[in-house]
Each structure stands twice: as structure tokens, then as C-alpha cells.
Structure 1
Amino acid sequence: TVMSNHGAKNIGDPQATFGVTLGNPLWEELRDIALKAGSSFMLNVTLNEQRNITNVFAGDIVKAHKVGCEFVKKSAMQRVEKPFEIVVTTNSGYPLDLNLYQGVKGMSAGARILKEGGTLILAAECREGVPGGSPLDKLLRSAGSIEEVLTMLSTPGFVRPEQWQAQIQALVQQKAEVLVHSLLEEKTVAACHLKSCPDISVEVTRRLNMLGSEARVAVLPQGPLTIPYLD
């Protein structure tokens, strides 16, 4: 079910993103599967940055989930009027940034408000590596470029574990240059078709000087825990 639901077609759909349910093929498929399984009781909670429970939603899996989504949009989603030239994002810090696999979620969140051709900087510790030898690591290393990753994933019959993270990363990189500030060795970052960023402040300053006074920077300290979206 996961391999099918997270297949290249679904992941590549523009609606398959944070904060979207209706029209999102991943969510709609999972909803339909749950409904076919018969009556069930849902219990979901929302959290803040201190990991404290901020609300509880229980009952019918469709109705209660809808109410929960409405609460999240008001409490954890941030509307912006236009995209930014530079976005600095995270994956919400420890323990959510243990590896690059998880860090891709931070990339995806930041890319939602990034201008086409802009720069995205991901700050994620990645103490566990990609992880090395993981399906994601092997898939990225097997390709000569991000374009080749997407070509492989679009090949009929091609299915690999964790391919969804490689696809999301590649789609972000089609839109912008992606740099990573982490504990990863530079050769590991390069093998993943990314660029290292030793000093975020220096890099942001350098790029702002190149872009001019009208360039704008967005910073997402909580990464995908604060879901930005364009108006």
C-alpha cells in the first residue's frame, strides 16, 4: 500500500503537499481505504513547538479529521503574499533532523514559498547521515543527476523503497538551488546531488548582495511544523 500510495504519479501531483486534503491523491486514496475497512473511531492530536498537545480531535474519521485540519490551518499554517528569493528552513531540529531522509521534509516545506530559480538552505544536523546504505542513499548515488533520478522514477515498472523522498528532493531542485548545512561530509552531500553550506549567514549575505536590495528572505525555524503557503 505504501509503495503504491507513494508512487511517482501521486508524489508528482502538485496537490500532494502539506495542508491539502481534497484533491490530494495520497490523502484521498488513504481516506478511501480507511472507509472501505468499515466503521472506525479516529483519535488525533495537534502539538506545538514544545511538543505539548494543543487540541484533540476524535470521532468519525472524515468529520473529525476535517475539523482538525481547520484548526491546524489557523494555528500552524502561515499565509504569505508572494514567494521569496531565499528560504532558510529546518526539519524542526532534534530528533526530527537525524538524517537527510527526514530533512527532505524541511526542503519541501520551504519550497512552497520559494521563488522559481531561488535558493533554499536546509539546516539539519543529519548525525545519522543519509543514512548511509539506505534505499534513499543507494538511489541517489545510482543516478548521475537529479534529472536522471526523475527519469528513473518515471520509468514504467521502476519501484524502489524510499523513492518518494528522492522524488520530492528532485522536484524541489528543479525549482531552485538547494544547499545543506549539516554534519554530512561534503562528498556525501555531493553524492546526493546537493551543495554544502558551511556558514548560513555568510551564504545568505553573499546572495543578497548579488540579488539587490529588493530580494527577500524567509526563515522557517520550525521547518514543516509551520506550514507556509502562498495566498
Structure 2
Amino acid sequence: MLYKFKYDQSQLALDIDQKRVLAEIKPAVVPILIDPVVEIHRSLNNPIGTAPLKEIARGKKKAVIVISDHTRPVKTELLLPPLLEHLDEAGLDSKQITIIVALGIHRPLTETELENLVGPRIYENYRVINHQPEATKNYGQTSAGTPLDLNPLYYEADLRICTGNIDLHFFAGYSGGAKAMMPGLSSRRAISNNHKMQLDPRSTSGNLDDNPVRRDIDQAGEIIGVDFILNLVQNEEKEIVAVCAGHFIQAHRQGCREVDRLCKVKIPARADLVIASAGGYPKDVNLYQAQKALDNAAYAVKPGGTIILIAAAPEGYGEDTFEQWLLDAKKDPQQVLKRLKKEFVLGGHKAAAIARVAVKNKIIAVSEMDPELISLAFMEPAESLHQAWQEFDEEQDLSILVMPYAGYTLPYEEK
């Protein structure tokens, strides 16, 4: 059978005898929204846990809309026009609205990228800016000690709207909700304090209720305030299957249930070999992002087994600290894990996430990156998918799981 894997903007294919494959792990087939814009308007008028957006916005003087950056597959161009239309009907004009890109510590977008993200009309008529993590102000702290260092434009607004997708997240459980604010509009030290809680074993993909990272995010939202969220749930083809709007916790939890229905996939057993694609662009834009797919694949592979990670990573490592930690480790994953225990550093946490998989499993990477850079990330470089497959082709007793959308799917065994 010919198995296909997305790779940047294209795809790769591999012919494998179907009898050797335990399962192909794909998201569930869920009906897509025929007209997402109509559903967005309906959700803004009939939100979960709050009054309609127009009622909340009426009489407000200064609004901030938080949007995701280019590394997230969010259909911002669909979200913004209905939002802005409702704010206009509530009496806010364009000069009262600021749109902030929630970068966290990602690189700032160029003006061209900002225009492409929101569309020319919105770019020309509204203030659209990058978050600056070095220009935050402190407004207290959470019970976990995370400093509430936030973008002052957000804090000073009397209407705060967070947008984005709800996906699986490898240590926050799920993206979406108040995560656009924390870490999206936070300082490096705030993000670092929040993210270091990923060392807690409860900080895992798909775990919500007792996840300390998500608890910290939600508490930040409660203290600072999130007036309204507009979140999308998308399938592996980036088609919208659900719109969740309203209260930043109640609406978010509904979205998480939709993600569970879509992305949590039962497997018959762990396999000797897992062939996993991050899911193409933007899930594999760089290794920093593609790591999430590797983390999901780790739930499907046996201890001592192999993961073939298919991730083009045209932007390379994708983050400076992440890169430096990998270079400093000199191909020894244990060095990264020891270092993280001594000092939690943002960016280093991603290197440690790869290292945790690498100490248990062999990782072969099919990518556009320089082979030496792949080796420094504790992986074996392969020139092509076919080359990566060659050493397993003759091993007839090898059990195999195929994950064409590893960035979107969380495998689990029935306990």
C-alpha cells in the first residue's frame, strides 16, 4: 500500500506491505463546517458562558484582539472580519482596536508577513503589531510564582479578545483559550516559569484537569482578564470542524472535547517502528515546531524502537536557545537532560523534549536540514524517506505504525 506523508508544501510516499502495518493513525473523520464564517457569526451571537460579543463590547473604549503568528495554522483571515464587524456594530471604530500578534518568544513578523496574516484591508485600516516580550510590564504573579509580565497594551484595554486554534499541546495539554495571553503576550521570564512546570509528569499532551501548566495559564487569565475567546478546531487538512466562542475556560473546554473526538486515536499496541510526519507546513516549518510530532510519536513506539520523523524544517532549528543547547550537548542527549534539571531555560526545554525521546528510541530524520545539524539534534539524518526505510524493508517481523499526521494525533493504548 502506498502511504503518503505531507512534507512542507508537498508530500512524500512510501510503499509498504499493508500486512506489516498494525495501523495507520489518522484523525477521526468529522464533518467540516460548510460555511465557517456563518458559524463564527452564530458563535459570536450565541457564545458559551458569556453574553454575545456585541453586548460585551458596547461602551468599550479600547479593544485588543490577540492573534496567532505564522507558525500556527490558524485561519486568522476568517476569524478577524466577523470579529471586527461585531465590534463595529457595538460602536468601536478602527482607531479603538489594536491587533497584536502573540509571538511569545518567536521571531517578530515582517510588515509583509503581518499584511499576509490579516489581509490587506485589515492591515491598511487597523493597527496590527508584533508583541515585544522585552517590553512587558509586571502586574502580579500566579500562585505558582509565574510573574504576570504582560504586554501593556493588552492590560490597559477594556476589551480583551483572544483568538487561535485548539490543538493538542505536548505539555500544556491543549493550545487555545488564555494561552494566547500566557505565554503569547508575556515576557521571557514569565514564559520560562510557566514552561518549567512541564517537568511535572502531569504536564502531558491531552491532559487537562490536573495539568499544572494549563492551571497556571488559566489562573493568569482569571487574574488579568480575558473577556472573550474565539477558537477554532481544525482537522489535519486545516478544515474547520468546530468554532468555540465565549468564556475563556468554558468555551475552551468545549473545544478540547472536540479535539479529543478528532485527535485521540486508540492503537492496538506500541510498534517497533513508527513512521511519523509532522503534517507538513506549518507543523514542520522548523525543528522547534516539528518536535511536537515527535512527542506524539513517542506514545506509539516501543522502548528501544525507532521513529522515522518526516519534517522538512526549511527554517532549520527555528529558535536560538534551542539551537545553542543542542550544539552545546555535542550529540549527547543526557547532557541536555542534566542541564535542564540544573537550569530551566526557555528554548532549552525543547532540546530536552527531543532528548527524552532520543535516550529511549532511535530517531531517523527526513528533512531539508544539514545532516550535521540533524545529528546534533540526536537524530540520524536520511537523504530521503526511501533511504530511511531501507534498513527496515527486509525485517518482516517488524511491527509498524504509520502516523501521517503526527502533529495532530495522540495515540493511546486501552488500559
Q: What TM-score comes out, normalization by structure 1 length?
A: 0.88
3-state SS of paired residue (2:383): coil
1:3 maps onto 2:192 in alignment: yes
1:162 counterpart residue number: 347
Aligned to 1:174: 359
Q: Does the CA contact (< 8 Å) of 1:40 and 1:61 recur in 2?
A: yes
2:127: which partner in 1?
Answer: none
Contact residue 11 and residue 168 of structure 1 kept, 8 A: no
- The alpha-carbon deviation at position 46 of structure 1 amounts to 0.4
CA distance in 2, matches of 1:31, 1:174: 33
> Are the equivalent residues in 2 in contact too, given 1:123–1:180 (CA < 8 A)?
yes
- 1: CA distance between counterparts of 2:346 and 2:263? 30
1:83 maps to a residue whose letter is R
Q: Map of 1:2-81 to 2, 5 A cutoff?
A: 2-7=191-196, 10-38=197-225, 40-81=227-268
SS of corresponding position for 1:127: coil
Q: In the superposition, relative to structure 1, how do residues 192 and 38 fare at CA in structure 2: closer, same or farther (>3 Å)? A: closer
> Does structure 2 conserve the Cα–Cα contact (< 8 Å) formed by 1:11 and 1:167?
no
Residues 83-141 of structure 1, C-alpha deviation per residue, up to 9 Å, x if partnerless?
1111111221023212111111111111111111110111111112114x821111111
- Comparing 12-21 with 171-180, greater Cα deviation is found at 12-21
Report the Cα distance in structure 1 between the residues aligned to 2:214 and 2:291, rounded to whole angstroms. 19
Letter paired with 2:405: Q
The aligned length equals 224
CA contact (8 A) 1:90 1:223 kept: yes
Q: Does the 8 Å contact 1:125/1:181 carry over to 2?
A: yes
Larger mean CA deviation between 36-45 and 52-61 belongs to 36-45
Q: Are 2:366 and 2:382, in contact at CA under 8 Å, matched by a contact in 1?
A: yes
RMSD over aligned Cα atoms: 1.9
Partner of 1:191: 376
The whole-number CA distance in structure 2 between the counterparts of 1:178 and 1:92 is 17
Aligned counterparts of 1:205 and 1:193: Cα–Cα separation in 2: 20
| Percent of residue pairs bearing the same amino acid type | 26
Deviation at 1:44, TM superposition (A): 1.2
**In structure 1, C-alpha distance between the alignment counterparts of 2:378 and 2:263, rounded to whole Å:** 31
The higher relative CO (CA closer than 8 Å, separation ≥ 6) is in 1
Paired residues of 2:202 and 2:210 also in contact (CA < 8 A): yes
Query: Which of these two proteins has the greater Rg computed from alpha carbons?
Result: 2
Structure 1: which 5+ runs fail to align?
A: none
Q: Which range is displaced more, 220-229 or 200-209?
A: 200-209
Report the equivalent of 1:90.
Answer: 277
Q: TM-score, normalised by structure 2?
A: 0.51
Q: Structure 2: how far apart are the matches of 1:129 and 1:26?
A: 27
One-letter amino acid matched to 2:271: F
